Amino acid sequence: MNQHAKHRVLRTAAAAVCALLAAAQVRELVAHQVPWHLVGVCGSALFLVMFGAVDRLVARFFTVRLSCLDCDFGVELTGADSAEVTRWRAATANHPHHGPTREVR
């Protein structure tokens, strides 16, 4: 399984877990007879906030940063396979007037 596929699987699993957690909270709100329009807004907000945070965390593990040692030029690749990383490494290494790049995971 390549990096892109792993990233997609983890992202889907994160969405499922966040949806379950939001649904559990929605269930609590319904049990307390909160009006449906508020339940919908709260449930959506909970899902979006949790998934946004988890998605950023998951993406961090699949992001490669390549940058020039001598200037601010750099790229971030999320879920990229090794061929794409190699291509961008060569591109950043050929950054005008500069030498090799550093890689930060």
Q: Are 77 and 64 spatial neighbours (Cβ–Cβ below 8 Å)?
A: yes
Exactly one of 71, 90, 91, 104 binds Zn ion (CB under 5 A); which one?
A: 71
Exactly one of 73, 75, 84, 89 binds Zn ion (CB under 5 A); which one?
A: 73
Q: Specify the residue, 33 or 94, whose C-beta has the smaller distance to Zn ion.
A: 94
CA distance 35 to 29: 9
CA distance 64 to 84: 11
Q: Specify the residue, 73 or 85, whose C-beta has the smaller distance to Zn ion.
A: 73
Q: Specify the residue, 4 or 73, whose C-beta has the smaller distance to Zn ion.
A: 73
3-state secondary structure of 22: helix
Residue 66 lies near Zn ion (rule: CB under 5 A): no
Q: Are 92 and 67 spatial neighbours (Cβ–Cβ below 8 Å)?
A: yes
Q: Which residues bind Zn ion (CB under 5 A)?
A: 68, 70-71, 73, 95, 98
